[in-house]
Amino acid sequence: MDFETFLIQLLNGVQYGLLLFLVASGLTLVFGIMGVINIAHGSFYMIGAYLAWSLTESFGNLWAAIAVGVMLSVLLGMVLEWLLIKKLYARDHLYQVLLTYGLILVFEEMRSVIWGDDVHGVDVPRILGASIPLTETLSYPVVRLWISAVCLVLAVAMYVLIRRTRIGMMIRAGASNREMVQSLGINIQLVYRIVFALGIALAAFAGMISAPVSSVFPGMGNQVLIICFVVVVIGGIGSVKGAMVAAILIGLVDTFGKVLHVEIAGVKLLPELAGMTVYLLMAAVLVWRPEGIFGKRL
């Protein structure tokens, strides 16, 4: 591989990683702060994408669709937490998995009823429609660079929110000791509701901004869900910093795993085993540090 191609593949890996971070950050927030495993996380990614498609059809442009879509997602998150999720805090992880798995099935059917089973596309907004020529054959679409930029901005915003604001302090305290925070007079119930709504709004937002490049089709949520859990497990449950590091790592491993040629003792490892690279990485991290790279020591 020449140096130019190597740099481009590096860019591909980082860009994929940043998008993974955006989707997985919501999952790790909900899991780390509220202790709730939300298996339906991928479904919200799908809901975001479908919202982007149908709202763009109604409003005529993607920006309005994203604005309205995010508001709807936050609303959906708050309603879900109030109706169902708050019953899960005292429960075992198994009950959480069962309930949220049921949510996946419900969302899939509702998606089929409301929007149908066809494949749809969201047009890239004209100002992002250009492609930057990198080599004589290959161009890099501006929209992908924009998506990466948005992910970075959101990562910084999340850091500021959690580390530098009062509400962030309440969130972190609530994650450490829920009862104590409550007895200090803080409405921990409202804090949890906000965190859950934030978590799924992040997933839906990721679905919305990546809809122009990923297309909108049934099953897109399930594909993303598995890789999200890998990110969270490698990065450490509840650690947003861990999710960022893990996501970039996975993005790079997945990208280079597909294009490198590695052969050990006559056995062809790459790219034949490209599909396994991410899971092998996860297994290796778990053996070395079971709590993940930045997770709290078990």
Partner 1 sequence: MSELRKLNSGRRKFLQDSAAVGGAAALAGLVPSVALAQGAGKIKIGLMLPYTGTFGQIGVGITNAFKLAIQENGGKLGGRDVEYVTVDDESDPAKAADNANRLVNRDKVDVLMGTVHSGVQMGMVKIARESGVLAIIPNAGVGAATAQLCAPNIFRTSFANAQPAYPMGKIAVDKGIKNVVTLAWRYGAGEESVAGFKDNFVKNGGKIVKELWLPFPNVEFQALLTEIASLKPDGVFVFFAGGGAAKFLRDWQAAGLKGKITLMGAGFLTDGVLEAVGGAAEGIETTLHYGDGIETPKNKAFRLAYAKSFKLQPDVYAMQGYDAGLLLIAGLKAVKGDITKKKEIIAAMEKVEIDSPRGKWRMSAGHNPIQDIYLRKVVGLENKVIGVAQRALDYPPASLCKMPR
**Site stretch for partner 1 (CB under 8 A), options 7-15, 72-80, 87-95, 165-173:** 7-15
CB nearer to partner 1: give 16 or 205. Answer: 16
CB nearer to partner 1: give 68 or 142. Answer: 142
CB nearer to partner 1: give 137 or 176. Answer: 137
Binding of partner 1 by 57 (CB under 8 A): no
Per-residue tokens: 114: 């409301």
Which amino acid is residue 23, in one-letter code?
V
Tell me the closest approach of the beta carbon of residue 107 to partner 1, in angstroms: 14
Binding of partner 1 by 102 (CB under 8 A): no
**Site stretch for partner 1 (CB under 8 A), options 62-70, 120-128, 151-159, 262-270:** 120-128
Binding of partner 1 by 111 (CB under 8 A): no
Binding of partner 1 by 294 (CB under 8 A): no
SS (H, E, C) the chain: CCHHHHHHHHHHHHHHHHHHHHHHHHHHHHHHHHCCCCCCHHHHHHHHHHHHHHHHHHHCCHHHHHHHHHHHHHHHHHHHHHHCHHHHCCCCHHHHHHHHHHHHHHHHHHHHHHHCCCCECCCCCHHHCCEEECCCCCEEEHHHHHHHHHHHHHHHHHHHHHHHCHHHHHHHHHHHCHHHHHHCCCCHHHHHHHHHHHHHHHHHHHHHHHHHHHCECCCHHHHHHHHHHHHHHHHCCCCHHHHHHHHHHHHHHHHHHHHCCEEECCEEEECCCHHHHHHHHHHHHHHHCCCCCCCCCC
CB nearer to partner 1: give 219 or 290. Answer: 219
Give the one residue of 68, 70, 76, 213 binding partner 1; rule: CB under 8 A: 213
Tell me the closest approach of the beta carbon of residue 128 to partner 1, in angstroms: 10
CB nearer to partner 1: give 161 or 274. Answer: 274
**CB-based contact 51:41 (threshold 8 Å):** no
Q: Can you tell me which residue has the tokens 């020529």?
A: 133
Give the one residue of 93, 110, 131, 226 binding partner 1; rule: CB under 8 A: 131
Tell me the closest approach of the beta carbon of residue 91 to partner 1, in angstroms: 30
Q: How many whole angstroms separate alpha carbon 21 and alpha carbon 126?
A: 26
Residues 216-255 that bind partner 1 (CB under 8 A): 216-220, 223, 254-255
Tell me the closest approach of the beta carbon of residue 270 to partner 1, in angstroms: 12
Per-residue tokens: 238: 């509840």
| Site size toward partner 1, by CB under 8 A | 47
Give the one residue of 59, 107, 140, 159 binding partner 1; rule: CB under 8 A: 140
Q: Can you tell me which residue has the tokens 């992040």?
A: 202
Binding site for partner 1 (CB under 8 A): 1-2, 4-5, 8-9, 12-13, 15-16, 112, 117-121, 123-124, 131, 133, 135, 137-141, 143-144, 212-220, 223, 254-256, 258-259, 271-272, 274-275
